[in-house]
Structure 1
C-alpha cells in the first residue's frame, strides 16, 4: 500500500510541476530565450518564476534538512557536498549552453513532449545521449583509476 501511495503522490507532484512550468511560460523556448537575451529584447518575467522557485526550494530544503525521513516515511537523501569543483562548473556551463541554444532545460523539455513538437523530442534525445556519454566516460575514468592504482601496488 505504501508503494501505491508513494507513486500517486509522485504522479501528483510531477503533474503539478509540469502544469506550473506550462503556466509560467518555461515550456516556451522563445520566452526563455527572451529572458536570456540581455542585450536585445529582454523579458525579465522568468526571473520572477525562478525567484519564486528558489524561495520555495530554500524553505523546503530547510525543513527537509531537519528531518530524518520524508513525509511518506522514506529515508531523506539530501546532497552533502558544498564544494564547487571543476565538474560542477563544467556541468553548469554545459547546462547553461544547452539552455541558451535550445531554450529548454530538462523539466520544461519533458513537459513539452506532450505537444508532439519535434524540438523537445530532439532535445530529449540529445539530453539522453549526453547522459549516456557522461556515464560511459565516468565508467572509463573509474576503470583507468582502478587500473593505475592496481599497477602502483605491484
Structure 2
C-alpha cells in the first residue's frame, strides 16, 4: 500500500470514528462542558453516581477510543463498563483484553486518585481510559 493510500485509509477511519462519536454524543440528553454525561451528582472525593465519557488514544493503526461508564459511591469506584471502538482486528483484540481485566484494577479504588497503566497486556487502551477518566472526574467536581 502506498503512503498516499495509507493516509487516505487513516483519514477514512478517522472520519468513521468521528461519525460514531457524534452519533453517541447526539444520544446524550444532558451533556456537560467536560464531555462526560452525568447521571448523578457529587463532588471530588465524595463523588457518587454513574457517569460516562469517551476517551481517545492513538495506535499504530490510527485513532481509537473507549467509552467508559463508571459508578462511584462516596468517592469509591463500585462498577465500571468499557466499550471499545474496535476500528481494526488488532484494536479489537487489545480492547477486549483491557475490558476483561479493568474491573479488577479499578473497583474498590478511590476515584480521585485513579489512573491505570497496562491492563491484561494492553497499554495503549489505558490512555483512552485515563482520558475518559479525566472527563468523569472533572464532571464529578
- TM-score (normalizing by structure 1): 0.31
- The structure richer in helix per residue is 1
Larger RCO (alpha carbons 8 Å, 6+ apart): 2
Larger Rg: 1
